[in-house]
Amino acid sequence: MEMLGLSLALFGAALAAALAGIGSAIGIGVAGGAAAGVMTEDPNKFGSCLILQALPGTQGIYGLLIAFFVLNKLGLLGGGGAVALTWNQGLQILASCLPIAVVGWYSAIWQGKTSAASIQMISKKPEAMGKAIILPAMVETYAVLALLTSILMLMGVQVG
């Protein structure tokens, strides 16, 4: 049972990277489909389509970031031994990972849908690129807030 804390913390890291990554993959996939459709008509839109398609990718990176944060906190990176964790501390770390895991997952999917719509928009009105970027960025706000919450929570958890 003495490893339960470590396991719980790792479970949290896994959730953060996996769920946010899944969300980003779906979001980018949705946006990519729309981008490919637009580019069959006008291949010159590749640049702007790519930027819009990349927008829902940040959640995956936020998830990865939190996962690394946890691994670093546990001392699992860099060859030193893992720190000793009570199951309570493990559960606290798991809880800290949940905001970015869940919000990253869902927000990336919805951001992907908004990106796809924005891609449709610039196919008709290329001059509206500024507005097209802002609409998906509105969705990302909540992923940023979740990232912030996860970071602040992780920093508050005392280990070692």
Partner 1 sequence: MGVAKLKKAELYYHKSVHEQIAAALQETGACQIISTDVENPSRPAEVEALISRTEEKLAEVRYLNRTLTPHYVDPIPALDRMLGERPEVTMTELEELASKTDLTAICDITRAVERETGEVRLKLSEAKLNESILSSLEFFDYPLSVFNEGTRTLTALAGTVKPESLPGLKAALGEFSKFAQDTELVIAPYDEKQKPTEVYAVLFYSRSVEAEVREACAKNGLSLVEIPASFEGTPAEEKEKTAAAITELEAKETELAAKMAALAEENMLTVQKLSDYYNSLAGRYNGTAESEETESTMLTKFWLPADRSDEVRAKIEAISPEVELTLADPEPDEEPPALLNNGNLVRPFNILTELYSSPTYRGIDPTPLLAPFFWIFFGMCLGDAGYALVVFGTILYVFKKYKKISVGVKEFIRLFLFCSVSTFIYGVISGSFFGNFIDSFVPILVPLKNSLMLVDPMSNPMQVLGISLLLGVIHLMFGLLVAAYEKIRAKQVIDAIGNDISWFLLIVGLCLFGVGTGGMIPPHFVQIGELMAVIGAVIIFLYAGKEKKGIINKIISGFLALYGSTSYLGDILSYSRLLALGFGSAVIGMVINLLGGLAADIPYVGWLVAITVIIGGHIFSIAINILGSFVHPLRLQYVEFFGKFYSGGGEPFTPMTLSQEFVNVKA
Check residue 84 for interaction with partner 1 (CB under 8 A): no
Q: Which residue in 78, 80, 81, 158 binds partner 1 (CB under 8 A)?
A: 78
The number of beta carbons lying within 10 Å of the beta carbon of residue 25 is 17
Site string for partner 1, 140-159 (x = CB under 8 A): xx--xx-xx--xx--x----
Q: Is 83 helix (H, G, I), strand (E, B) or coil?
A: coil
Cβ contacts of 117 within 8 Å, gap of 6 or more: 34, 135
Window 20-49: contact mask with partner 1 (x via CB under 8 A): ------------------------------
Collect all residues with Cβ–Cβ distance below 8 Å to 83 and sequence separation of at least 6.
73, 74, 75, 159, 160
Asked if residue 18 binds partner 1 (CB under 8 A), the reply is: no
CA gap 67, 9 in Å, rounded: 10
Q: Which residues bind partner 1 (CB under 8 A)?
A: 51, 54-55, 57-58, 61-62, 64-65, 68-69, 72, 77-79, 129-131, 133-134, 137-138, 140-141, 144-145, 147-148, 151-152, 155
